[in-house]
Amino acid sequence: MNCEYWEEHLYLYRELNADEQAAVDHHAATCARCRALLEDVQQQHALTREAAREKPAVPSPVRLTEAIMGSITPARRKQSMIDNAWLRYGMAAASVLLIVMFLFERPWAHGQPEQRIVTARPPAEAHSPVMDTQAFLEATQQKRVTPERSRFAQYASCIQHDDCDNAAVRNFKTKMKL
Amino acid sequence: LTARSIYRIMFGLQNMPKPLTPEIIRQAARGDHHAFRTLVETHQAFAYAVAFRFTGHAGDAEDIVQEAFVRLWKHLHLYRPEVKLTTWLYRIIANLCLDLLKSRPERQRRSAVSIDNSHAVAAPGTPEQYVHQQELMGAVRAAADELTPVQRAVFVLRDLEELSVAEVSDILSMSAGNVKSNLYYARRKVGERLKTLYRTDKWPML
């Protein structure tokens, strides 16, 4: 067999199995040209290993770490907003609750708001330029009390206080980790 | 434990980063920034060395390392403990580097015209050994610049990173036969370059 056949085997000597290496050794023992090339390849391997002993170092490790951490932060934040199912469903539930509250409020059923304010004002002071704002607020508030709003207020207060015993709110708080 | 190995441990010259505990990787996969920072700090030197050997250019290597860790962060939830983290990083970096080398062939010659060894870690030894080492590294790098992207990838992973043929074929998604064939051409070219250097005794730095 000619030397061209062996050349690839010589360059890939380290990758050969024991039998193949034995075959190359056998040929190199009788062929000066291939023996010389095998020596070259082995020297080359030693030099490459020597060159690989030193590894390129990061010019500024701290700066590189900060650059990496900086480039992952915004992407992750965006993702976590989308991925947080509880936050998403919680906000959707809150929106629905507000719409329901608005519908139960039925502002049209109470007539004109101006009328309510006027009737809330005590008659004796109707002509006074100085309004009793306290009375006005109390009267307005009184007018706005409905069973639905009371229930909402109860829930809202319950969310803020740990000693609340409302089962629905407790369940909600546990899930939202409030 | 030789003096050299003690030195290498003290100055962080090990080729492979210490493997992280699976718990830290799990925490990072769950989105823990602190755990991911630990992962970056322990693996960025390794990642940079690989990227630099591929590209021969400090700026390109840093860009690739940054992009590699961003990809790792995005896909860390797919991490399987049976695959080494370094293997995964090798795969990401190799793909990024191959894309870069293939898209910009002029980059291949860049390190040949601006060899900058100033940031390389100095191995212990005499000044002469240091000069010799620098010349050798320059010669190997210049030889690597003449390779095709795939030949370079195979040469870097097998001969410089000293991975097995099976690992290289896994990282590059190539058959073992294809790896060996590229390795043959790569070694032949690098060998010619080194031979010229050693036969003529023309040392560029002396």
Which of left, alpha, beta for A54 (phi over 0: left; psi -120 to 50: alpha)? beta
Q: Distance between CA atoms of A44 and A4, rounded to whole angstroms?
A: 19
Q: Do A40 and B37 touch (CB under 8 A)?
A: no
Backbone angles phi, psi at A101, to 5 degrees: -55, -45
Q: What is the pLDDT of residues B97-151, one digit of tens each?
A: 999 988 876 555 555 444 444 445 555 566 666 666 777 788 888 888 889 999 9
Nearest residue in A to B129, CA atom: A50
Higher pLDDT, B81 or A20: A20
Nearest residue in B to A69, CA atom: B37
The CA-based angle B138-B2-B158, given to 5 degrees, is: 40
Which of left, alpha, beta for A86 (phi over 0: left; psi -120 to 50: alpha)? alpha
Whether the CB-CB separation of B156 and B53 falls below 8 Å is answered with yes
| ipTM score | 0.78
B31 vs A contacts (CB less than 8 Å): 76, 80
Q: To the nearest whole angstrom, how far is the Cα of B182 from the nearest Cα of chain A?
A: 10
Q: Is the CB of A84 inside 8 Å of chain B's CB atoms?
A: no
Is residue B58 pLDDT above 50, yes or no? yes
DSSP state of A110: G
- The confidence score (pLDDT) of residue B174 equals 94
- The confidence score (pLDDT) of residue B13 equals 47
CA dihedral over A128, A130, A135, A137, signed as positive or negative: positive
| pLDDT tier for residue A8 given thresholds of 50, 70 and 90 | very high
Q: Distance between CA atoms of B155 and B159, rounded to whole angstroms?
A: 5
Q: What is the pLDDT of residues A76-89, one digit of tens each?
A: 455 555 567 888 88
Q: What is the pLDDT of residues A32-55, one digit of tens each?
A: 889 888 888 888 888 888 888 878
A67 vs B contacts (CB less than 8 Å): 62, 66
Q: Which of A43, A44, A63, A73 to mutate to test the interface with B (most CBs of B within 10 A)?
A: A44
Higher pLDDT, B12 or A71: A71
Q: What percent of chain B has pLDDT over 90?
A: 47
Nearest residue in A to B40, CA atom: A65
3-state secondary structure of A60: coil
Q: What is the pLDDT of residues B152-172, one digit of tens each?
A: 999 999 999 999 999 999 999
Q: To the nearest whole angstrom, how far is the Cα of A74 from the nearest Cα of chain B?
A: 11
Q: Distance between CA atoms of A145 and B195, rounded to whole angstroms?
A: 96
- The confidence score (pLDDT) of residue A114 equals 47
Q: Do B45 and A45 touch (CB under 8 A)?
A: no
Q: Is the CB of A167 inside 8 Å of chain B's CB atoms?
A: no
Which residue has tokens 């409020």? A105
Q: Distance between CA atoms of A140 and B178, rounded to whole angstroms?
A: 85
Centroid of chain to Cα B55: 9
3-state secondary structure of B39: helix
Which of B72, B172, B12, B174 is closest to A69 using CA atoms?
B72
- The confidence score (pLDDT) of residue B124 equals 56
Give the mean pLDDT of chain B. 80
Q: Distance between CA atoms of B54 and B98, rounded to whole angstroms?
A: 8
Q: Is the CB of B53 inside 8 Å of chain A's CB atoms?
A: yes
Of A44, A56, A61, the CB nearest to B52: A56
- Greatest mean pLDDT among A9-18, A138-147, B10-19 lies in A9-18
3-state secondary structure of A20: helix
Q: Distance between CA atoms of B47 and A57, rounded to whole angstroms?
A: 10
Q: Distance between CA atoms of B140 and B134, rounded to whole angstroms?
A: 10
Give the mean pLDDT of chain A. 76
Q: Distance between CA atoms of A8 and A128, rounded to whole angstroms?
A: 110
Is residue A128 pLDDT above 60, yes or no? no
Q: Is the CB of A19 inside 8 Å of chain B's CB atoms?
A: no
Q: Do A44 and B15 touch (CB under 8 A)?
A: no
Q: Distance between CA atoms of B158 and B139, rounded to whole angstroms?
A: 18
- Write the CB contacts of B53 (distance below 8 Å, at least 6 apart in sequence): A56, B144, B156, B160, B161
Higher pLDDT, B3 or B42: B42
Q: What is the pLDDT of residues A108-119, one digit of tens each?
A: 655 555 444 444
- Write the CB contacts of A22 (distance below 8 Å, at least 6 apart in sequence): none
